[in-house]
Amino acid sequence: MKDHATLAEAFIQDEARTNWHDETLWFVRQKRDKAAHGLPEWEQLREWASQIKNHTLSHMDSYLEEFERNALANGVQVHWASDAAEHNRIIHDIIKKKGITRIVKSKSMLTEECHLNHYLEEQGVEVVDTDLGERIVQFRHEPPSHIVLPAIHLKKQDVSDTFHEYLHTEKGNNDPTYLTRAARVHLREKFIASELAITGVNFAVAETGGFVVCTNEGNADMGTHAANVHIACMGFEKLIPKASHLSVFLRLLARSATGQPVTTYSSHFHKPKPGQEMHIVIVDNGRSNILGKADFRNALKCIRCAACFNTCPVYRRSGGFSYHTAVAGPIGSILNPNFDPKKYADLPFASSLCGSCSNVCPVKIDIHDQLWKWRQELTKAGHVPLMKKIMMKGMAFVLGRPALYRFSGASARWVLRYMPFMVKFKINPWYKQREMPAPPKQSFREWYIQNKKK
Amino acid sequence: MSSRDQIFSAIRKNKPAAVPGVTPDLSVVIGYPDLLSQFSTVLTAIGGSCREVASAEDAKQFIASLDKGTFVIDTTAEHPSGLAQLSPAALASVDTAIIRGGVAVAENGSIWVTENEMVNRLLPFIAQQLILIINEKDLVPTMHQAYERISINETGFGVFIAGPSKTADIEQSLVIGAHGPCGMVAVIVRES
Ligand code: SF4
């Protein structure tokens, strides 16, 4: 199993591409800022969202019961899955029972988490992903590299090559409009013929038993309204108590994700259309366990906007695949160790702990604090390689001793100035791909003391 | 024990101590001096277009003047009987759909459309072009007021539509017209 650092090293081989990735995501982050600053109540909105989610988590059982009751009354079939395997089996059973062969799926990170496509393929069932970015990576047999922008690791010439191969578009025509139109024609055929549409769920509303799906492309709606069976998959944490709460979350979601004021479509599903079957699969898959951990349960508030990805200096420069998991980025780094601490022990270290993720998070998850706590936990559990342990111990030792901290700071500044090769030495992974900054002549403390005397 | 029971018992065991709920105080929420101009500025910025008319009659005339292609379904006027049952394949050739919208939101350019008005759920998504007719008095500043005005479960399906469908999945270049309409026009009627 390759860890984050090793995988990131592969990603940064192509410097021009890494820079493009970095700058493009930073641009999305800036669009988010602009949208956020356009609302004087932005911080208040985040606070409301956070409180609504905290409240819901603490009453999860009664809200789930309320949701189930109302959904059943609406004529929707409700299924419960303890884990990924059960989720996949429930969906496959519906497919088998009805003899369905033509399936479309819009974006759902839960189905990625459960590896649904792969499972169904093994049963001889093909699923067509209909989000443009997801269709592109599906053709390429790659997973999405970003939860909102699945093909952000690709350039238009890659897409052009892929479409030339699978959709017979003109070779070398890299025009995004041309390529998008080709996918539109191809996927319209799939929508029209589809018998089953699978979607995710952005928000489920306890008081009405309905759920909301947000897209810009319209692919969730094209699928669900064309097919005679709709299966919506959700982790139980997608629940919110009331319809009026949707206003808080819809105002935050798209602004945080892409800087748009709202997604093109915010679709509210309550009842199947006449002659249609509607199913909801509610999944646990480790979530109830996270709910019991005071330090980490906050992560269940996530609305998957990816603002923490776009702002993260490590994600932007290492790409989604380096996280070797369905949900990458800062949120992935605090969620995944819950599922498999050993396999994902490297992820909480894929961070500079700058805290930018926590600052942009629309539901105020303490992401960088959790990253820090995970480092302690994983080290205690013996999942952390020796080198990192020594460095962490060294840090704790130095930070716990102010006099030594001042001395080592001064000596580090001296070393950086006079013997830079010491830190640029290969064993220090921080030096890879980085120029060390010119060291300041004074520490902040020295400067402060000097200037206070003046 | 069924999976349902297992999940519920794990949640009951692990959930944190009760945290009180919150009712947003709408007095701190942004307002706009001119709802119509805010709405049309945002809708135009997200790729839609906006036309204000004085009356329902003027709306008709304006829509008549637009290039709508050959296959038009107007659910505000007489439409094919059996529209609700029309197959996706038949709907695939719709050039323009004309539908009445409800509440319209100034902060984001979105319009609430329910199953009652669209008649066929697929219609507003599969048409190449979408025209929504709304009343100026149905403009509200933000989503908070919008949810106060609607019941999301009044019909089996309802949607906020903000402009034409779009994607930026290829190198972040914005392309209008992903899977849904390539164009979207809001016609705003001043008198009710
Ligand atoms: S953790 Fe916060 S910022 Fe990151 S995806 Fe979830 S909601 Fe968005």
**Chain segment A44-70, per-residue pLDDT in tens:** 999 999 999 999 999 999 999 999 999
* Chain A partners within 8 Å of B180 (Cβ): 217-218, 221-222, 264-265
- State the residue for tokens 């459960």: A114
Specify the higher pLDDT residue, A388 or A292: A292
Q: Residue A300 Cα, ligand 1 centroid: separation in angstroms?
A: 10
pLDDT tens-digit series, residues A78-125:
999 999 999 999 999 999 999 999 999 999 999 999 999 999 999 999
What percentage of chain A exceeds 90 in pLDDT?
80
Question: Residue B95 in contact with residue B109, Cβ under 8 Å?
Answer: no
What percentage of chain B exceeds 90 in pLDDT?
96
- Alpha-carbon span B99 to B74, nearest angstrom: 6
DSSP character at residue A435: P
* CATH fold of the domain at B23-77+89-189: Rossmann fold (3.40.50)
Structure confidence at residue A10 (pLDDT):
82
Per-residue pLDDT, averaged over A341-367, amounts to 95
Per-residue pLDDT, averaged over B114-119, amounts to 97
Report chain A's mean pLDDT, rounded to a whole number. 90
Question: Residue B176 in contact with residue B166, Cβ under 8 Å?
Answer: yes
CB contact under 8 Å between B167 and A132, yes or no, is yes
pLDDT level of residue A392 (50, 70, 90 thresholds): low
What percentage of chain A exceeds 70 in pLDDT?
85
Structure confidence at residue A398 (pLDDT):
47
What are the strands, taking DSSP E only, across A100-209? Answer: 103-105, 127-129, 196-199, 203-205
**Using a 6 Å cutoff on CB, does residue A350 contact ligand 1?**
no
The number of CA neighbours under 13 Å toward the Cβ of A53 is 24
Question: Residue A81 in contact with residue A285, Cβ under 8 Å?
Answer: yes
Q: Which of A266, A221, A71 is nearest to B103 (CA)?
A: A266
Encoded amino acid at A354, one letter: C
Determine which of A17-21, A127-131, A388-392, B126-130 has the lowest per-residue pLDDT on average: A388-392
Structure confidence at residue A427 (pLDDT):
47
| B8/chain A closest Cα distance in angstroms | 6
How many beta-carbon contacts under 8 Å exist across A and B? Answer: 255
pLDDT tens-digit series, residues B56-80:
999 999 999 999 999 999 999 988 8
- Alpha-carbon span A263 to B146, nearest angstrom: 16
- B61: CB partners within 8 A, 6+ apart: none
Question: Which of B1, B5, B11 to mutate: most A Cβ within 10 Å?
Answer: B11
Domain A39-285 class? alpha beta
* Chain A partners within 8 Å of B118 (Cβ): none
Q: Residue B120 Cα, ligand 1 centroid: separation in angstroms?
A: 35
Q: Report residue B173 as tokens.
A: 């270049």
Specify the higher pLDDT residue, B88 or A390: B88
pLDDT level of residue A13 (50, 70, 90 thresholds): confident
| B64/chain A closest Cα distance in angstroms | 26
* Chain A partners within 8 Å of B171 (Cβ): 24, 154-156, 159, 176
The SS3 assignment for A210 reads strand
> What's the pTM value of the predicted model, to 2 decimals?
0.90
**Using a 6 Å cutoff on CB, does residue A150 contact ligand 1?**
no
pLDDT level of residue A420 (50, 70, 90 thresholds): very low
Encoded amino acid at A222, one letter: M
pLDDT tens-digit series, residues B121-160:
999 999 999 999 999 999 999 999 999 999 999 999 999 9
* Domain spans of chain A, in order of start: 39-285, 392-451
* Closest residue CA from atom 6 of ligand 1: A302
Structure confidence at residue A385 (pLDDT):
73
**Using a 6 Å cutoff on CB, does residue A362 contact ligand 1?**
yes
pLDDT at B19 over 80: yes
Question: The dihedral of CA A77, A80, A81, A86: what is its sign?
Answer: negative
pLDDT level of residue A424 (50, 70, 90 thresholds): very low
pLDDT level of residue A389 (50, 70, 90 thresholds): low
Structure confidence at residue A214 (pLDDT):
98
Determine which of A47-56, A329-338, A423-432, B2-11 has the lowest per-residue pLDDT on average: A423-432
Determine which of A108-122, A146-160, B77-91 has the lowest per-residue pLDDT on average: B77-91
Q: Exposure of A22 by Cβ count < 10 A (0-12 exposed, 13-18 middle, 19+ buried)? A: middle
| CA of residue A279 relative to chain centroid, distance | 25
- Alpha-carbon span A39 to A47, nearest angstrom: 14
Structure confidence at residue A83 (pLDDT):
98
CB contact under 8 Å between A136 and B169, yes or no, is yes
The SS3 assignment for A452 reads helix
- Alpha-carbon span A187 to A220, nearest angstrom: 12
